[in-house]
Amino acid sequence: MNSNIVKSRTSVFSVVIGFAALVSTAGAQAKDFYQFSHFQINAPFNISQEPIRANILSNKGKEIILIGEKQGAPRLAIFAFNEGEQTYQLNLDIALPKSYFSFDVSDESEAGQQSLYFLSSEHVVLFSPENANPFTDIVDIRSIYVNHNASYLKQADFVTDLNNDGLNDVLLADFRSLNIYLNQSDSENLNRYSKQALPIEPTVEIFTRRVSYTERPYYLVDMNLDSKQDIVITGDGELLVFSQTDQGSFATEPETLAVNDDIKGINWWDSRGADGDNIDQSDFSYKTVQYLKDLNDDNLPDMVVKHTKSSGVLDKSNDYEVYLGKAVDGVLTYADKPNTTVRSDGTLAQLDFIDINGDNKHEVMASSFDISVSQIIGALLTGSIDQQILIFSLDQQQIYRQRFTEEVQLKFSLSSGKSGSPVIELADLDGDGLKELIISDADNQLKIFPGKKQSTLLQSKYQYLDVRLPKDGSLLTSDDLNLDGKEELIVRYSSEDGGNKQSRLLIIQVE
């Protein structure tokens, strides 16, 4: 380690000989804003999923729940924080049934606790790690998801408290409906659920020898301004609202809210003509709803619409139109034209809405590419393509203005057919209420831009941190694990990173 490397700490159940070189601080452009420490967790198997961070035990802080496989069998391990040792220690290592193919974590209860659920073809299963048998079937279900011998697990969204009664409900799409399982448990009747089916069918594509069913996207927002979550889906030129009743169930017939006539109810790649072929990409304009959420902190849901324009496969652009919700005589309405639009000179890809500066308003972080012929030729020669990171915020006139831009590189291999994504993460590393931008600057180096209150949101000066990064930058995430207001960086590795790194988890924190 270099002389400017801070002290590292290692977890119990870890062997870190030779690992200290994974993290070091390097000189910043002007000064070091942060001093870092780190520790490593070694799982008893290869980690295959993003680490789950949830408060499911009585220990202080969040547990780290790892899912992976050992000798072809799925397993789960829980690491809990030991305050005395100031490390994460292995609490549980258990086999997972192969009938489980999805999992979800509930929101925090008033007491700050969370629950972990698994999904099989017939049941929703509650995981209670402190029980002798930690897996409990809590509700029988019917859904479009049928898999009795899963080869992997994926995180899904099927658990939420719909009616704000402190109990976790279940939503799952069936072949003919969206099924709601309302939790009506009490001290005398545990795991009691009532089922309601809403007439929301999945998107169906029929091919010569197969049929594809895709769950129709829905949004949980208050559309009739009664402080209750409603279930909303999109149609052509309208939103279909299934209002929540006073009893916590939902209307079986939707109310319609007219929006821009050009907005479609399905994505353009799912739209087909009378011949069954996809739409012609040589000349089209297509709008779909991407988000319904309050962006400007006025307690009204705003609508974000993706506007795709194409005059050829290599001449495609995506703009994001923002329609701000407005209450007129107690009724939510949207203008026919967008109030503001997020766009760039290139093609916008990833778009995230996140409060960067703690003002309860959502900024936008977007990625932009140039997919011209010259750029593609250059990418084939160099094995990389430039990617712009753009950050926008609302001004006093409720217009999204670009405040910050930085460039990263996306790398790919023609021989393996795989690409490595850059690290792009926003996290409040020092607990000051402002998020820092963390990006990869090289294969083994992070570049950290501290947050600031001013309109630019991020400082122009930055600090380097030497870290052995995964080839897939999305494997670096962040969370406030010990609930001290500071977010830690969490790094895991895949089989693409070689060696035995797939069982390692690296936690980096500001001291």
Rounded to two decimals, the pTM is: 0.88
Q: Residue 326: pLDDT band by 50, 70, 90 thresholds? A: very high
Read off the pLDDT of each residue in 152-171 and give the average, rounded to a whole number: 94
**Helix-, strand-, coil-residue percentages of the chain, each rounded to 5:** 5, 45, 50
Read off the pLDDT of each residue in 330-342 and give the average, rounded to a whole number: 97
Q: How many CB atoms lie within 10 A of CB 175?
A: 11
What is the token pair recorded at 256? Answer: 């319609």
pLDDT surpasses 50 at 15: no
pLDDT surpasses 50 at 8: no
By CB atoms closer than 10 A (0-12, 13-18, 19+), residue 86 is exposed
By CB atoms closer than 10 A (0-12, 13-18, 19+), residue 230 is buried
Kindly compute the dihedral angle of the four CA atoms of residues 260, 266, 270, 272, in this order, to the nearest 10 degrees: -60
Interatomic CA distance for residues 357 and 454, integer angstroms: 9
pLDDT surpasses 70 at 40: yes
Predicted local confidence at residue 284, as pLDDT: 82
* Cβ contacts of 468 within 8 Å, gap of 6 or more: 21, 22, 23, 444
* Cβ contacts of 151 within 8 Å, gap of 6 or more: none
Q: Write out the H or E segment, with its range, that includes residue 381.
A: helix 373-382
Read off the pLDDT of each residue in 334-341 and give the average, rounded to a whole number: 97
pLDDT surpasses 90 at 171: yes
Q: CA nearest 408: which of 382, 386, 376?
A: 386
Contacts 24+ apart (CB under 8 A), 249-255: 249/180, 249/182, 249/194, 249/196, 250/180, 250/196, 250/198, 252/196, 252/198, 252/199, 255/224
Predicted local confidence at residue 29, as pLDDT: 52
Q: Residue 381: pLDDT band by 50, 70, 90 thresholds? A: low
Q: What is the DSSP string of 63-84?
A: EEEEEEEETTEEEEEEEEEETT
Over the stretch 183-234, which tens digit does the pLDDT of each residue have?
999 888 888 999 999 999 998 888 888 988 999 999 999 999 999 999 999 9
Tally of residues, the chain = 511
Question: Higher model confidence: residue 269 or residue 153?
Answer: 153
Q: Residue 18: pLDDT band by 50, 70, 90 thresholds? A: very low
CA 329 to chain centre: 36
Predicted local confidence at residue 377, as pLDDT: 62
DSSP single-letter state for residue 376: H
Read off the pLDDT of each residue in 35-51 and give the average, rounded to a whole number: 94
Interatomic CA distance for residues 465 and 182, integer angstroms: 47
pLDDT surpasses 90 at 480: yes
The SS3 call for residue 199 is coil
Q: What percent of the chain has pLDDT over 90?
A: 67
What is the token pair recorded at 488? Answer: 């830690």
Place of tokens 């949830």: 54
DSSP single-letter state for residue 283: S
Q: Residue 350: pLDDT band by 50, 70, 90 thresholds? A: confident
pLDDT surpasses 60 at 373: no
Q: Residue 12: pLDDT band by 50, 70, 90 thresholds? A: very low
Read off the pLDDT of each residue in 352-374 and give the average, rounded to a whole number: 87
Over the stretch 72-105, which tens digit does the pLDDT of each residue have?
899 999 999 888 887 889 999 999 999 999 999 9
Predicted local confidence at residue 19, as pLDDT: 36
